[in-house]
Structure 1
Amino acid sequence: MNWINSIVRPKIRDLWKKREVPENLWIKCPETGEMVFHRDLEANLWVIPNSGHHMRMPARKRLEALFDGGKYDNVKTPEVHADPHKFRDSKRYSERLKEARARSGEEEAVLVAQGQINGMAFTAAVQNFDFIAGSLGMAAGEAILAGMLKAVQDKTPFVMFAASGGARMQEGILSLMQMPRTTVGVQMLREAGLPYVVVLTNPTTGGVSASYAMLGDVHIAEPGAQIGFAGRRVIEQTVREKLPDDFQTAEYLLDHGMVDMVVPRQKMRETLARICGILMKREIELPKLEAPKEPAPEASAEQAAKAEDPANKEAGPAS
């Protein structure tokens, strides 16, 4: 009976056990309700294949998709005081930071890296919306400034992938001061003659859209991205008017001249390389073509007509 107790019964119990399925195995499209397998979605750069809806993309994965071969070097950013005001609402701000770091695996909301796009050196910063909604605090401001200074030092274009709910309220005036500080960094790039390209992703709002996110030489938006300062409900209550359904979308801003182009995620690399190549006056190496072979010399039409003229045939040599 030993083998029945130790082998048969456990196998029977396993048949009745509920199998645990990971929650993120299938992703639902917010527009169409289509279910997409997570690996297929990741392979398509977090874009729903049929609807084209752009889902939120992890910051590290965005850097891997941006640079050649997925290779890049992290730019070291300064450390700042974690909780300068000892702020507390429903919980301590220091506890929120710990939770965000444990959940995202990152120290702050902004990642800065350097690499190559189509063989051209770039410096890029990406805001991680999963880290306290990508809010702009002291550490994020310092990271953006460090990336801009590194771009000036290495003479590379600077690309900013913006995704944020605005300034970080837990840091008060210190977070608002990052708006003029990052504006100074943008001015440094301009004085150095380096391109500053902003890619507006979903969502880009608040103090971020009121500062460095709208100061680029070129503004590119991802399809369907929500871009604005105040929320739709606040604006409707203020102006007491019904706003258009597509208000504050990337396409709406393109029609009204607020962004320069709306580019799908799959074409972002080539678009950035082309734009910055033009702005940096990069020399383009054209393929060398062999010169066409010249045809063998032929008698001219006049000489051919002269030879066929019967008068010339009858006339002999002069005596």
Structure 2
Amino acid sequence: MTDRLTAPGLISDLLDDGSWTSWDAAPERGGLDPAYVEELERAQQKSGLDESILTGRGTLDGMPVAVIAGEFSFLAGSVGRAASDRLVAGIERATAEGLPLVGLTCSGGTRMQEGTPAFVQMVRIGAALAAHRAAGLPYVAYLRNPTTGGVMATWGSLGQITYAEPGALAGFLGPRVYSALYGEEFPPGVQVAEHLAEVGVIDGVVAPADLRERLATVLRALTPTPASGETRDSTGENPGLDVETWDAITRTRRADRPGVRDLLATEATDVVELSGTQSGEVAAALLLALARIGGQPCIVVGQDRAAEAEGHKLGPAALRVARRGFALAAELRIPVLTVIDTRGGELSAAAEEGAMAGEIARCLGDLVTCGAPTLSLMLGEGNGGAALAFLPADRIVAAQHAWLSPLPPEGASAIVHRDTDHAAEMATAQQVLAIGLAERGVVDRVVAELPDAADERDAFLARLGGVLAEELARVHAQGAGSASARAARYAF
């Protein structure tokens, strides 16, 4: 770790020059033990601040934002009643003014000098943040070194998006307390930012020098761009039904077929990848990101064919990450874009013990009842329940050769014919093609491949991006559909 950053210094680095306005009034010190008052006075002289918490508003790259920040040099950033009052007031003011919130934590936790009366203030802090999120406003937490105890268990862990500075100690129980209580050292590295990112507790590690740019990208990703009035080429949309089933399946299995990452790289702006469930699980086969497509913010929940090709499995954790995405979109009141492109859900003892079937059911249920507008894209392969779990949406778009099947055709052949030789025959009999689902009214728009997405990569992605931009604008304007309306399209 480098020298610890001060809260005023970091705020100055993050916000536009001259834009900071403090919201803080002088804290009340009445009724406190005289010895503690002297300690507070020494802390004020040392830090140059009157409390461990700063709150206020400013602009970041021209965008208004509220900030709550902890200062470690004031009694190790500990949070007592006065600091809690300041935190709660700052969060509530951000909510009232409709401002996104950035939390810059740096604290050992609850102030021990004040004991339980300070400890129970965690309830108020959590309630204030819950109300801010319920108002559809984003909260991004940035964990500085250290962030432990009651701060980690409240405003350090309640961001929809959470980053940490490199090497930061972030955890519930500080190592010194653990050692004193249990007579042994806490395992090294567990509470370090980089490890927390690896296991899906936080979304990433960001150096302070890069934080301004990252926060600006997040804020832009959540802000619609006014329509330019330009139209995109949709040539080849809803092509004729002249697709041979096995040929389509073979095309979707090409190694060079573009996937969700290619789509975002060419057709999206302000892409911010998120990591894991925030509960200690990651899933490389599932891409979760904020992005704008055609200027429209969305949460992308995409099955990553490139990661599957490298051996990563779409298991229960991936579905839990997807469910985080659905909930995040509902909170932020922006559309969800799901992308179906998978060889199938993980088949293993670990997947069964991780409730694979249950997670498919819960993913289906969460998507069909999602409180955000939803758009599904059938991009390529669609094997099994893990693919179906990403389908129910207000609108559905499909690539011409995309398909959806209860099992890989080889698996269906093994069940019916006890061999895999009849895979092509089974695929045709099972009517797996998206273009057939369009005939039945399940799929709303089909984007042509001329003749194949892999052979005309850039042109295909441009056509697809134009359609997605139109559809995201459509579902955003219409608002979230009902579960019954989303399910009705399958009653054929």
In the alignment, structure 1 residue 278 sits paired with structure 2 residue 226: no
Query: Contact (CA 8 Å) 1:78, 1:142: kept in 2 or not?
Result: no
The code of the aligned residue for 1:213 comes to G
Structure 1 unmatched ranges of 5 or more: 1-52, 289-319
Q: What is the correspondence of 1:84-103 to structure 2 with a 5 Å cutoff? A: 84-86=31-33, 92-103=35-46
**2 CA distance for matches of 1:70 and 1:244?**
44
In the alignment, structure 1 residue 65 sits paired with structure 2 residue 7: no
SS of equivalent residue, structure 2 residue 113: helix
Query: Contact (CA 8 Å) 2:27, 2:50: kept in 1 or not?
Result: no
1:164 positional shift: 0.4
**1 CA distance for matches of 2:216 and 2:126?**
24
1:230 positional shift: 1.4
**1 CA distance for matches of 2:99 and 2:2?**
28
SS of equivalent residue, structure 1 residue 259: coil
**2 CA distance for matches of 1:185 and 1:93?**
28
CA deviations on 1:60-89 (whole Å, 9 max, x unpaired) are 111111101253111134733x254527xx
Larger mean Cα displacement after TM superposition, 238-247 or 157-166: 238-247
Q: Provide closer, same or farther for how the CA distance between residues 233 and 174 of structure 1 changes in structure 2, counting only shifts above 3 A.
A: closer
Q: Provide closer, same or farther for how the CA distance between residues 106 and 236 of structure 1 changes in structure 2, counting only shifts above 3 A.
A: closer
SS of equivalent residue, structure 1 residue 169: coil
1:242 positional shift: 6.8
Q: Provide closer, same or farther for how the CA distance between residues 54 and 105 of structure 1 changes in structure 2, counting only shifts above 3 A.
A: same
Identity of aligned residues (%): 36
CA deviations on 1:36-61 (whole Å, 9 max, x unpaired) are xxxxxxxxxxxxxxxxx432112211
Q: Provide closer, same or farther for how the CA distance between residues 239 and 276 of structure 1 changes in structure 2, counting only shifts above 3 A.
A: farther
Q: Which residue of 1 aligns with 2:110?
A: 167
Query: Contact (CA 8 Å) 2:102, 2:139: kept in 1 or not?
Result: yes
**2 CA distance for matches of 1:133 and 1:233?**
14
Q: What is the correspondence of 1:67-82 to structure 2 with a 5 Å cutoff? A: 67-69=15-17, 71-77=19-25, 79-80=27-28, 82=29
Query: Contact (CA 8 Å) 2:178, 2:185: kept in 1 or not?
Result: no
Q: Provide closer, same or farther for how the CA distance between residues 144 and 285 of structure 1 changes in structure 2, counting only shifts above 3 A.
A: farther
Candidates 104, 108, 124, aligned match of 2:51: 108
**2 CA distance for matches of 1:167 and 1:57?**
20
In the alignment, structure 1 residue 158 sits paired with structure 2 residue 106: no
Q: Provide closer, same or farther for how the CA distance between residues 167 and 84 of structure 1 changes in structure 2, counting only shifts above 3 A.
A: farther
Q: Which residue of 2 aligns with 1:265?
A: 208
Q: Provide closer, same or farther for how the CA distance between residues 170 and 232 of structure 1 changes in structure 2, counting only shifts above 3 A.
A: closer
Q: Which residue of 2 aligns with 1:27?
A: none
Q: Provide closer, same or farther for how the CA distance between residues 244 and 79 of structure 1 changes in structure 2, counting only shifts above 3 A.
A: closer
Q: What is the correspondence of 1:121-160 to structure 2 with a 5 Å cutoff? A: 121-160=64-103
Q: What is the correspondence of 1:197-216 to structure 2 with a 5 Å cutoff? A: 197-216=140-159
Structure 2 unmatched ranges of 5 or more: 231-492
CA deviations on 1:264-308 (whole Å, 9 max, x unpaired) are 1111011111112323x342798x9xxxxxxxxxxxxxxxxxxxx
Q: Which residue of 2 aligns with 1:253?
A: 196
The code of the aligned residue for 2:101 comes to F
Q: Provide closer, same or farther for how the CA distance between residues 197 and 239 of structure 1 changes in structure 2, counting only shifts above 3 A.
A: same
**2 CA distance for matches of 1:132 and 1:244?**
26
Q: Which residue of 2 aligns with 1:179?
A: 122
The alignment's TM-score, normalised by the length of structure 1, stands at 0.66
Q: Which residue of 2 aligns with 1:37?
A: none
**2 CA distance for matches of 1:99 and 1:119?**
38
CA deviations on 1:146-170 (whole Å, 9 max, x unpaired) are 1112211221101110000111111
Q: Which residue of 1 aligns with 2:263?
A: none
Q: Provide closer, same or farther for how the CA distance between residues 241 and 177 of structure 1 changes in structure 2, counting only shifts above 3 A.
A: closer
Rg larger in structure: 1
Q: Provide closer, same or farther for how the CA distance between residues 176 and 131 of structure 1 changes in structure 2, counting only shifts above 3 A.
A: same
Query: Contact (CA 8 Å) 1:157, 1:194: kept in 2 or not?
Result: yes
CA deviations on 1:120-157 (whole Å, 9 max, x unpaired) are 00000110100000101111111111111221122110
Q: Which residue of 2 aligns with 1:217?
A: 160
Higher RCO (CA 8 Å, separation ≥ 6 residues): 1
Query: Contact (CA 8 Å) 1:134, 1:165: kept in 2 or not?
Result: yes
Query: Contact (CA 8 Å) 1:183, 1:211: kept in 2 or not?
Result: yes
Query: Contact (CA 8 Å) 2:7, 2:69: kept in 1 or not?
Result: yes
Query: Contact (CA 8 Å) 1:84, 1:171: kept in 2 or not?
Result: no
Q: Which residue of 2 aligns with 1:307?
A: none
CA deviations on 1:75-118 (whole Å, 9 max, x unpaired) are 134733x254527xxxx101001111122221111111211101
| Equivalences, count | 229
Q: Provide closer, same or farther for how the CA distance between residues 224 and 149 of structure 1 changes in structure 2, counting only shifts above 3 A.
A: same
Q: What is the Cα-based RMSD across aligned positions, in Å?
A: 2.3
CA deviations on 1:224-271 (whole Å, 9 max, x unpaired) are 000112133554687888754322100011111111111111110111
The alignment's TM-score, normalised by the length of structure 2, stands at 0.44
